[in-house]
Structure 1
Amino acid sequence: MVTPVTLPQVDNAPILQAYVVHAQFALRQLQQTLGDGNAQPLTIDSLESTGPRAPGTGELQTQYQASQDQADLFQTDLNSFDADIADIAAKSAGVADAAQRQFLSLVDRISSIVNAQQALGVKLSVEQQLHAIGLIHDALGDAHQAVADAHNQLNIHAGNVIGSSTDGSPAGSPSMGSYPGLAGMGLPASFGGGGQPDISADSPERERAPRGGPTHALPFAPGQQVHVNDIYQYLITKYGFTPQQAAGILGNMQSESSFDTGAFNAGEGAIGLCQWEGGRRTALEHFAASQGKSAGDWQVQVDYLMYEMHGSHSFAYAQVKAAQTPTAAAAAFDQYFEQSSGSTHLQREANAEHIYSSLTSAVV
C-alpha cells in the first residue's frame, strides 16, 4: 500500500500553511490516480469541493490587513494548482513512469520550499508567504510540463504508427477545448493610439526560456493590437512607475508580443502581452473571468501583470521600481519577471531606450 504523501508543516505562516494543506490533499488525490499507472477521474470540481481551501476566517483581511488583491491572488493560485493537478492526472495514462518521477520530484521540491520558510523562524509577511506560494507554483509547473511533454510524445508516436484523425491531429490526442477561457472569448477588434509613433513594427521574434506549466493547444481569439503609448500612460498614471521604468517593461513586451494581447506561442501555449504560460496563463484567465472581462483585454492583462508583481513576483516589482534608467528597468523585468533565456537581453534594453526616447520626445 502506498504511503500517502505528507508535506511539512509551517508554523510561522498561516496563509502558506493553508495553501500547503490543500496542496497535500490535491497531491494525495493525484497519488491515487497514479497508483496503478492508469489515469482515473480527477476533476477540478472534485478538488475544489473537498479539502481545505482557505486560511482561518479573516486571516488575509484582518490579522494581516491584506488588500483584496492579495486575498484574490491566494484564491487564484489555489484554482490554478487544482487545474494543473487535474491535467497531470488526465495525461498520466500511458506515461506512468514519467508521471511518477515528476510526482516524487514535485513533492520533494514543495517540501524543500516549505522547510526553507519554516527555518526562517519568524512570522512571515503576506508578501513573503505569497512569494513562497509562487515558488510552489513554479515547481508544479515544471512537473506538469514534463508530464505534458511525455504525453505529447506518446501521441506523436501513436500518430506515426496508426495515422492521423480526420482533423489532422494525431490519433488519440486529447481535446484541449475544455480549458477555461478559450471558447467564446468575444474579444473586441484591435485598435491603435492614433498620432503617436509606431515602434512595434521592428519587434524581434519572441524568444522564451523553457518554463513549467500546461501546454494549451489553442490560442486566444484575435486580441487587441495595443498602441505602446496607451500602456505607457497606464503604467505611469495608475501604477506609479516612472517613464524610465514603464519603458523598461514595454521594451520586454515588445520582444514578447509586439503589443498584441492575442499573441500566441504554439510551442509553449503562451499568450498575451507578457506571454503567460502554464499555471500563470490559467491564473490570468481566472483573473479576467472573476471580473467578467475578456482575458484578451489589454487593461486586464496589465492589471494582472501588476497583480503578479504585488504577489508572487514582488521581488521583480522591487527591482524594477529601483531602476533609474530604461535599460536597467528592462534588464530587471527580463531577469526577474520574464526570466527569458537571455538571447534577446540586449534587444529588450534597446527597445526600452527607443520607447523612452520616442514617447518622451513626443510630449510638448
Structure 2
Amino acid sequence: MAPKEEWTLHRPRNAPILNPYIDYIEKVLKALEAGLGDKNAQSLTPGELVKKGGERPGDSALQEQYDLNLEQIQGYQDDWHALDDQIGFIASFAAEDANTVSREFEELRDTAVEISSAVPDDPTTARQIDAVNALDNAVGVAYEAILRAYAKLEGKSTEVPAQNWSGSGGAAPYVPGITDTGSAYSNDSPQPIGEGEKAQVQEMYEYLLEKGFTPAQAAGILGNLQVESGFDTGAYNPGEGAIGLAQWLGGRRENLEAFAASNGKSVTDWKTQIDFMVHELKGSESGAMSRLKSTTSAGEAAAVFDQYYERSSGEARGQRIANAESIASSMAGRSTDSSVLA
C-alpha cells in the first residue's frame, strides 16, 4: 500500500440524509485502511468494522423528517446492509491477497472522496439519495473485483462456493451478473417434497403466477419455503418463535397474525401466508421485490429471495437453489411455458 495520505470525505452543508452515511463509510474505510497498514489485516474482522461505523438513521426518522416513500427508505437501508456485507468480505479476504485488497481499497477510497466532493451544499433529498447510491455502488465495484480475485486464488473459474466464503461458513452474497448459481452452489441435492405435498406445491406455484411472478421467480420462492418450513404452514421454531412457510418471527410474525385476523382467516392458511408475503414484498420488503423481479432463472431468484427477503445466514443457500431448480423442472413438465426454466 502506498504511504498514507491524509484524506477525508466531504460533508455538504444541510445534508442530513447523506452525511450520516458519509460519517459511517469514512469511519469504516479508515478502520480498514489502518488494518491494511502492513498488508496483512489478519487482526481485522467484519464485526469490528461495523462497530466503528456508529449509528444509522431509523426508518421512522427518515419518513417523518424527510418525507421519503417506503421504496426510498428501503433502498437507503439496503445500501447500509450492502456496505456491511461487502466491506466485511473485503476485510476477511485481506489476509489472503493483500495486494489486490490494497489496490482496490485505494481506488474505493479515491472514488468515495470524489463522490462526496461533487455534492454541493444544500443538496436536494434526491441528490443525497443519489450520492448514497453512488457510494454503495463504489463499494460494490471493489467487492466484485476482490471476489473475482478470491475465486482466482482458490483456482475456480466461477465464484466462491458457499462453504468457502468466510470463517463463519456463511455463503458469499449473491452478486447479480457475477455469481454463477449453477456452479457456485453445486454441492447440494434437492430435498424430496414428499408424498402428499406435491399437489400443494403446485397450488402455491400457480397462485404465485397469479400474483404476477414469473415461473422462475415462483420456483425460487418455493425453493426457499421448502428449506424454511418444508411447506408446513404450521411449522414452528421454538428457539426463535418463528412460524409458517417463511418462518416469520418477531414483528413480522405479529404482522402476519394481524394480517390474517384482519382478513378473517386462520394464520395457518397457506393462501393467507402467501398473501402476506406478497403484502410485505409490495411494502416493507419492496427492496427485495425489486431485486426479485429482475431475476430470470430459478436459481437466481432463489439466491435473491434468500439474501434480501429471508435474510438467512446463507449456509443453506445452495440447498435453496437446488430446490428451486428441481421445482422449476417439475413444473416445466406440467406446463408448456418455456420460461419456467429461463
What is the TM-score when the length of structure 2 is the normalising length?
0.51
| % identical aligned pairs | 22
Q: Give the match for residue 150 of structure 1.
A: 149
Residues in 2 aligned to 1:307 and 1:121: alpha-carbon distance in whole angstroms: 29
What letter matches 2:140 in structure 1? G
Sort the Cα spacing of 1:97 and 1:181 in 2 relative to 1 into closer, same or farther, 3 A.
Answer: closer
Count how many residue pairs are aligned between Structure 1 and Structure 2.
Answer: 236
Residues in 2 aligned to 1:55 and 1:216: alpha-carbon distance in whole angstroms: 35
Is the aligned partner of 1:209 residue 2:208? no
| Greater helix content | 2
1:229 shift after superposition: 4.7
- Which of 230, 245, 248 pairs up with 2:207? 230
Is the aligned partner of 1:124 residue 2:101? no
Q: Secondary structure at the match of 1:24?
A: helix
| Alignment RMSD | 5.1
Residue segments in structure 1 that go unaligned for 5+ positions in a row: 158-168, 183-207, 235-245, 265-287, 321-329, 331-337, 339-353, 356-364
Residues in 1 aligned to 2:286 and 2:85: alpha-carbon distance in whole angstroms: 22
What letter matches 1:140 in structure 2? V
- Which of 201, 207, 219 pairs up with 1:259? 219
Sort the Cα spacing of 1:72 and 1:121 in 2 relative to 1 into closer, same or farther, 3 A.
Answer: closer
Q: Is the 8 A contact 2:71 2:286 kept in 1?
A: no
Q: Is the 8 A contact 1:12 1:122 kept in 2?
A: yes
1:70 shift after superposition: 5.3
1:18 shift after superposition: 0.6
Residue segments in structure 2 that go unaligned for 5+ positions in a row: 194-200, 225-247, 254-272, 297-303, 305-335, 338-342
1:141 shift after superposition: 1.7
Q: Give the match for residue 90 of structure 1.
A: 92
What letter matches 1:148 in structure 2? L
What letter matches 1:138 in structure 2? N
Residues in 1 aligned to 2:278 and 2:13: alpha-carbon distance in whole angstroms: 35
1:228 shift after superposition: 5.6
Q: Give the match for residue 30 of structure 1.
A: 32
**Cα deviations by residue, 1:23-44 (Å, 9 ceiling, x for unpaired):** 1111111112222111233334
**Cα deviations by residue, 1:280-306 (Å, 9 ceiling, x for unpaired):** xxxxxxxx887667xxx9765884576
Q: Give the match for residue 11 of structure 2.
A: 9
With 220-229 and 76-85 compared, the bigger mean Cα shift is at 220-229
Residues in 2 aligned to 1:232 and 1:302: alpha-carbon distance in whole angstroms: 15
**Cα deviations by residue, 1:221-275 (Å, 9 ceiling, x for unpaired):** 86996756533554xxxxxxxxxxx4xxx45x63xx56322669xxxxxxxxxxx
Sort the Cα spacing of 1:221 and 1:45 in 2 relative to 1 into closer, same or farther, 3 A.
Answer: farther
- Which of 37, 40, 43 pairs up with 1:41? 43
Sort the Cα spacing of 1:175 and 1:14 in 2 relative to 1 into closer, same or farther, 3 A.
Answer: closer
Residues in 2 aligned to 1:44 and 1:51: alpha-carbon distance in whole angstroms: 11
Residues in 1 aligned to 2:112 and 2:289: alpha-carbon distance in whole angstroms: 15
- Which of 165, 170, 173 pairs up with 1:179? 170
Q: Is the 8 A contact 1:60 1:66 kept in 2?
A: yes
1:21 shift after superposition: 1.0
Residues in 2 aligned to 1:219 and 1:112: alpha-carbon distance in whole angstroms: 44
Sort the Cα spacing of 1:154 and 1:8 in 2 relative to 1 into closer, same or farther, 3 A.
Answer: same
Residues in 2 aligned to 1:27 and 1:142: alpha-carbon distance in whole angstroms: 15
What is the TM-score when the length of structure 1 is the normalising length?
0.48
Q: Is the 8 A contact 1:220 1:262 kept in 2?
A: no
With 34-43 and 96-105 compared, the bigger mean Cα shift is at 34-43
1:22 shift after superposition: 0.1
Residues in 2 aligned to 1:289 and 1:5: alpha-carbon distance in whole angstroms: 43
Q: Secondary structure at the match of 1:85?
A: helix
What letter matches 2:125 in structure 1? L
Residues in 2 aligned to 1:130 and 1:48: alpha-carbon distance in whole angstroms: 21
Q: Give the match for residue 116 of structure 2.
A: 114
Residues in 2 aligned to 1:113 and 1:309: alpha-carbon distance in whole angstroms: 27
Residues in 1 aligned to 2:67 and 2:280: alpha-carbon distance in whole angstroms: 21
Matches for 1:279-298 after TM superposition, within 5 Å: none
Residues in 1 aligned to 2:287 and 2:192: alpha-carbon distance in whole angstroms: 25
Q: Is the 8 A contact 1:223 1:262 kept in 2?
A: no
Q: Is the 8 A contact 1:44 1:86 kept in 2?
A: yes
What letter matches 2:91 in structure 1? A
- Which of 51, 54, 71 pairs up with 2:53? 51
1:140 shift after superposition: 1.4
Q: Secondary structure at the match of 2:219?
A: coil
Sort the Cα spacing of 1:310 and 1:262 in 2 relative to 1 into closer, same or farther, 3 A.
Answer: closer
What letter matches 1:124 in structure 2? T
Q: Is the 8 A contact 1:103 1:143 kept in 2?
A: yes
Q: Is the 8 A contact 2:41 2:91 kept in 1?
A: yes
Matches for 1:134-149 after TM superposition, within 5 Å: 134-149=133-148
